[in-house]
């Protein structure tokens, strides 16, 4: 079993986390390593559900904060093991997970081990299956199975924010636009109806679509609606009788899932549209006193500014629980899931210093 040394430097810890297998559905090894590392610290109560690990302090502080991060990544693309490029202040760690979000997890683990007397009681959450369908999400499972494990007065998701603070998040839905045809021999195509050709109109509507930019509580959220998968056909000499175009809509948190679904149905009026997965967004919540205290503490160290989170994150789950939550962590979110994913080493150190300042002030 792989082991992690939480007392080592942040760069080495981040590399060790990135180089452990952890594509969604294959988090067992990294969850075992995280659990094994945390159980060495007497000030932490360590709990586990599947491949989600929770560590809690019990110091009797009047408030409790939840600091969470996911252990899984999207599939690798010849970008592991990690590579260190540059030296000193210009050093960058390249590889899958460096941005999304092993650098943030490394900061969590280092602080969980280090802070025996934080100014808030802290629940550290490390969970599985964030990068896949919402119903598999490990934090969602914890909320359903053990709501007391993730209870708190304020929450932080250590998602990449480039050292700034990102409020709320877009909602997300996936839908299938299903097209029906009539099968025939390709040598006698006039006897059938080509379902793949029928997808052309779906793609033209998407090509002509202009995504909205929506202001919510002072932050501007950029929407997007795209085809992300397409499938159809049975053989090279058969006119296809079915085709499916899967679309992904990232919508502003001012809209509900129902409103977003209706928007997609309106765009593809005349087609069979089937919703397959959806999760609501979260409003910024930066007017909450706990969020304002957090912003003053961490942005005073990083010099970042509040902005909107364009992607979906689990702040939405905390929002549904009535817990104010924000995104804060090292790494440029624009590099998440890219083949050239990389994170400045100095930003990992800065995020650690900022969270430490908040938890010890």
Per-residue pLDDT tens over the stretch 40-62: 999 999 999 999 999 999 999 99
What's residue 287's pLDDT? 86
What's residue 285's pLDDT? 84
β-pairing, 325-327 vs 184-185, is unpaired
Q: List % helix, strand, coil for the chain (3-state, nearest 5).
A: 35, 30, 35
163 — alpha (psi -120 to 50), left (phi > 0) or beta?
Answer: left
The Cα–Cα gap between 170 and 213 comes to 11
- Closest CA relative to residue 327, chosen from 170, 102, 156: 156
Tell me if residue 73 falls in helix, strand or coil. strand
Residue 119 phi/psi, 5° resolution?
A: -75, -15
Peptide bond connecting 101 to the previous residue in cis, omega within 30 degrees of 0: yes
What's residue 310's pLDDT? 86
Query: pLDDT below 70 — which residues of the chain?
Result: none
List, in sequence order, the alpha helices (H) in the chain: 10-18, 28-38, 103-114, 138-145, 195-208, 257-267, 289-302, 315-320, 345-360
Helices 345-360 + 289-302 axis angle, to 10: 140
Strands (E), 71-159: 83-85, 92-94, 121-127, 154-157
Which tokens belong to 21? 């297998």
What's residue 134's pLDDT? 83
In contact, 211 and 226? CB cutoff 8 Å: no
The Cα–Cα gap between 266 and 261 comes to 9
- For 193-218, write each residue's pLDDT tens digit: 999 999 999 999 999 999 999 999 88
The Cα–Cα gap between 173 and 275 comes to 8
Residues annotated as catalytic (active site), given as ranges: 72, 130
What's residue 241's pLDDT? 98
Which tokens belong to 223? 């929407």
Token pair 């629940």 in the structure block, residue = 123
What's residue 233's pLDDT? 96
Q: Please give the DSSP secondary-structure letter assigned to residue 190.
A: G
């Amino acid at each position: 079993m792989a082991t992690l040394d939480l007392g080592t430097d942040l760069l080495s810890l981040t590399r060790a986390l990135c180089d452990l297998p952890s594509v969604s559905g294959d988090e067992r090894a990294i969850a075992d390593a995280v659990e094994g590392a945390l159980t060495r610290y007497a000030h932490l109560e360590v709990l586990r559900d599947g491949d989600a690990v929770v560590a809690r302090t019990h110091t009797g502080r009047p408030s409790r904060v939840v600091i969470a991060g996911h252990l899984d990544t999207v599939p690798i693309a010849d970008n592991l093991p990690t590579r260190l490029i540059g030296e000193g202040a210009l050093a960058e760690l390249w590889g899958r997970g460096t941005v999304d979000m092993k650098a943030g997890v490394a900061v969590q683990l280092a602080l969980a081990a280090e802070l025996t007397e934080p100014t808030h009681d802290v629940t550290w959450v490390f969970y599985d299956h964030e990068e896949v369908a919402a119903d598999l999400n490990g934090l969602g499972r914890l909320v359903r199975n053990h709501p007391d494990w993730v209870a708190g007065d304020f929450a932080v998701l250590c998602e990449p924010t480039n050292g700034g603070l990102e409020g709320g998040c877009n909602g997300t839905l996936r839908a299938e636009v299903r097209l029906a045809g009539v099968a025939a021999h390709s040598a006698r195509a006039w006897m059938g109806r080509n379902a793949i050709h029928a997808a052309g109109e779906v793609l033209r509507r998407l090509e002509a679509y202009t995504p909205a930019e929506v202001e919510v509580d002072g932050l501007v959220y950029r929407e997007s609606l795209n085809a992300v998968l397409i499938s159809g056909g049975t053989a090279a000499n058969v006119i296809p009788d079915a085709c499916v175009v899967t679309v992904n809509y990232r919508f502003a948190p001012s809209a509900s899932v129902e409103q977003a679904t209706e928007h997609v149905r309106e765009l593809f009026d005349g087609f069979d549209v089937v919703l397959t997965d959806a999760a609501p967004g979260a409003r910024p919540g930066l007017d909450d006193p706990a969020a304002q205290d957090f912003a003053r503490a961490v942005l005073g160290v990083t010099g970042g500014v509040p902005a909107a989170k364009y992607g979906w994150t689990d702040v939405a789950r905390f929002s549904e629980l009535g817990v104010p939550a924000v995104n804060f962590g090292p790494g440029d979110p624009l590099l998440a899931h890219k083949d050239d994913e990389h994170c400045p080493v100095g930003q990992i150190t800065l995020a650690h210093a900022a969270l430490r300042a908040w938890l010890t002030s």
